[in-house]
Chains A and B, each alone.
Chain A
Amino acid sequence: LAKTTQPISMDSYEGQEVNITCSHNNIATNDYITWYQQFPSQGPRFIIQGYKTKVTNEVASLFIPADRKSSTLSLPRVSLSDTAVYYCLVGGSQGNLIFGKGTKLSVKP
C-alpha cells in the first residue's frame, strides 16, 4: 500500500478556502485517493474519492495532477465546524486501509 505524507497541522480562519496537499509517490495504477474527516471521539467519515483530474461534491473538491503522485483536498469557505483531522489514503482496493496521522485543521473565528 502506498505511503502518504501530509502536513501535521494547519490553521485557517472562517470563510477562507483551505487546501491540504498529500503526497503519494508510490501510488499504484489501481489505487484510488480517498479523504476522510474525523472529529474528536468519533469514527472517521468519508469525504471524497478520486482517481485522476478533479472531483467535486457538496463538501469538498479533490484535485489530482496527471502523474497522480500528489493530491489536494480543497474545502471552500471553512467554518468552525470544519475543525477536524483530515486523512489522505491511497489504495484500499482490497479494502484494508492504512490511515496515517492525518492533518489537524484548526479553524478560528
Chain B
Amino acid sequence: DADVTQTPRNRITKTGKRIMLECSQTKGHDRMYWYRQDPGLGLRLIYYSFDVKDINKGEISDGYSVSRQAQAKFSLSLESAIPNQTALYFCATSDTITGSSYNEQFFGPGTRLTVL
C-alpha cells in the first residue's frame, strides 16, 4: 500500500552493527506494527504501538527496540544485528478499534535485511 512506506527497501549489514528500519504512513492511523517474516514461517509480530505513548512487545521482541516518533512514524532498531535476524520486515498500520470489531491492517512493501 503506497500510504505505508518503508526505508530502506534492502539492506546488507554485518554482525554487531546497529540498524534502524523506518516506517512512515499517511493514512492517519493511530496503530502501527512491526513484523518479521522468515521463509515458510508466516509473519511474526515484533512490536506494536496503539498511539505515540503506547508501545507493546509482540511475539518476538528480544533483540529489537522501537521508537514511535510521531503518529506517522514508527522505527525498528536492531541494536546489535546477528545473522538470524536476516529476514523480511514489514510495517503495518490500522485505525483505532472500536468495541469488539477489528479493523484491517495495511502493510508496507517490506524491508529485506541481510546480516552477514
Contacts and interface: CB of A to CB of B under 8 A. Distances in A.
A30 B98 CA distance: 12
A87 B42 contact: yes
B interface, how many residues as a size bin?
20 to 34
Contacts of B107: 42-45
B30 to A, nearest CB: 9
A41 B110 CA distance: 7
Interface in B39-82: 40-45, 48, 50, 56, 58-59
Contacts of A96: 33, 45, 48, 56, 58
B31 A44 contact: no
Interface stretch (A12-20, A58-66, A72-80, A99-107): A99-107
Interface of B: 1, 4, 31, 33, 35, 40-45, 48, 50, 56, 58-59, 88, 90, 92, 94, 97, 100-110, 112
Interface of A: 30, 32, 34, 41-46, 49, 87, 91-102
